[in-house]
Amino acid sequence: MTIKEQAYGPQEEAVFLDTIRRWTAQELKPRVKEYDHADRYPTEIVEQMKEMGLFGATISQEYGGLGLPARLYAQVVMEISSVWMAITGIFNSHLMLALAVEKFGTPAQKDLWLPKFASGEVRGGLALTEPDAGTDLQSIRMTARRDGDDYVINGTKTWISNGIEGSAVALLVKTDPKAEPRYKGMSLFIAPKQTGFTVSRKLEKLGYKCIDSGELVFQDYRLSKEHLIGGVEGQGFFQATGGLELGRINVAARGVGLAEGALRLASDYAQVRKTFGKPICEHQAIQLKLGEMVTRARAARLLTLDAAEAFDRGERCDMEAGMAKFFASEAALENSTEAMRIHGGYGYSKEFDIERFYRDSPLTCIGEGTNEMQRMIIARQWIKRHSIA
Ligand SMILES: Cc1cc2nc3c(=O)[nH]c(=O)nc-3n(C[C@H](O)[C@H](O)[C@H](O)COP(=O)(O)OP(=O)(O)OC[C@H]3O[C@@H](n4cnc5c(N)ncnc54)[C@H](O)[C@@H]3O)c2cc1C
């Protein structure tokens, strides 16, 4: 058992989750529709999240974070996502930046940045994707050229969550664009907003509203070598992907929340809407849908907790996290679609919450590795673990 688990036993876990549940019901539920439809950044709610310590949720307590184990953190994300998935991205993506620094940073980098990340004073995310490179991360073009004790960075990043409202990102670049294999020429920097770092546009989206997604341009952007995470060039690819297990548990938890939230909306509606003299939940066709939805949501939750517990035990869990991410995100999409159909014509109305679930769910199939890649990763890992050679 890890120290983190001891600090958050079953009793602490229940109290913590109860606080999150009450906050979600009192503060998020009444406001989500208005914010979502206006696509407005929820500044007031971000202030509440700061006070609750959510920006330091997985950062160690010695740096001012809450030090939540993955199992509890995942349940927090599930709870919030069952009402408002997009808002979890504001602290999820930020915590991926923090994880890169905590896992791979020098002691000086950890002392300097982690307390600021934990308090929410500095917030940000991961800047990996470029206009011509998403899944194939090793084909990024952004370069960092050494100039004395500094690096001069040029290039463009796109789709960066928290890139507009945040004040720093973990920036993946090529320090040696000619290196072979390509990953050996990649490095990761802590990049605060300063001269040379501009937001060129806010990206408009189908769903996942309120959280900002930006295109970021770096033009002769100068950083001292103290910003190179870990202080050694060529480690960036592994540092950027080194947080993927927790990142996938994270997205899986969002999927569970969406799948459960959609189920709840559908089952509530099916009990009050009547056709042919009885509530629609008494028609077999609707029961078949609900039966599948309940099962999918439950299976997604169990897979996600299974991956989180393996992570907390310090085990390698890329296959478990991949299965959870794949299954839970597809469950989110399927449950949202079925819930919309159960709402009939009202499912297509902006007055009902289900349309938001339908717009938000597909993102979970794309982020932290698309589900096409996820299945291949699961298969490769399975073969490796069950090799007959
Ligand atoms: C709302 C939103 C927020 C995001 N936030 C961030 C963020 O904060 N930071 C960040 O860095 N990025 C972010 N992204 C980018 C996201 O990570 C990428 O969109 C994702 O990695 C896919 O890359 P791509 O869009 O370039 O698709 P591509 O890589 O071009 O893939 C296109 C299609 O081809 C498939 N494909 C690709 N390669 C293979 C292969 N070898 N075998 C089989 N199929 C393949 C993919 O699965 C996909 O279906 C965000 C994206 C969105 C939409």
The answer to pTM > 0.85 is: yes
pLDDT at 6 exceeding the cut of 90: no
Task: Give the pLDDT confidence score for residue 4 in this predicted structure.
Answer: 53
Burial class (CB in 10 A: 0-12, 13-18, 19+), 307: buried
107 DSSP assignment: H
Q: Answer whether 177's CB lies under 8 Å from 185's CB.
A: yes
Is-catalytic flag, 368? yes
Tell me the residue ranges of DSSP E strands in 211-359: 213-224, 274-275, 278-279
Annotated active-site residue in 204, 215, 368, 372: 368
Indicate which residue's Cα is closest to atom 4 of ligand 1: 159
> What is the overall mean pLDDT for the chain?
96
Task: Give the pLDDT confidence score for residue 244 in this predicted structure.
Answer: 87
Instruction: Please give the backbone phi and psi of residue 219, each rounded to the nearest 5 degrees, phi first.
Output: -125, 115
Residue 208 CA: nearest ligand 1 atom is 1
pLDDT at 325 exceeding the cut of 90: yes
pLDDT 10s digits, 165-187: 999 999 999 999 999 999 999 99
The two beta strands, 168-174 and 186-192, are antiparallel
pLDDT 10s digits, 71-89: 999 999 999 999 999 999 9
Task: Give the pLDDT confidence score for residue 389 in this predicted structure.
Answer: 86
pLDDT at 7 exceeding the cut of 90: no
- Enumerate residues lining ligand 1, CB below 6 A: 93, 125-129, 134-136, 159-161, 205, 208, 213, 363, 366-367, 370, 372-373
pLDDT at 30 exceeding the cut of 90: yes
Pocket test for ligand 1, best of 94, 135, 210, 359 (most atoms within 8 A of CB): 135
Distance in Å, CA 365 to ligand 1 centroid:
10
Distance in Å, CA 64 to ligand 1 centroid:
33
Indicate which residue's Cα is closest to atom 16 of ligand 1: 367
Query: Is residue 222 helix, strand or coil?
Result: strand
pLDDT 10s digits, 186-240: 999 999 999 999 999 999 999 999 999 999 999 999 999 999 999 999 999 999 9
pLDDT 10s digits, 270-284: 999 999 999 999 999
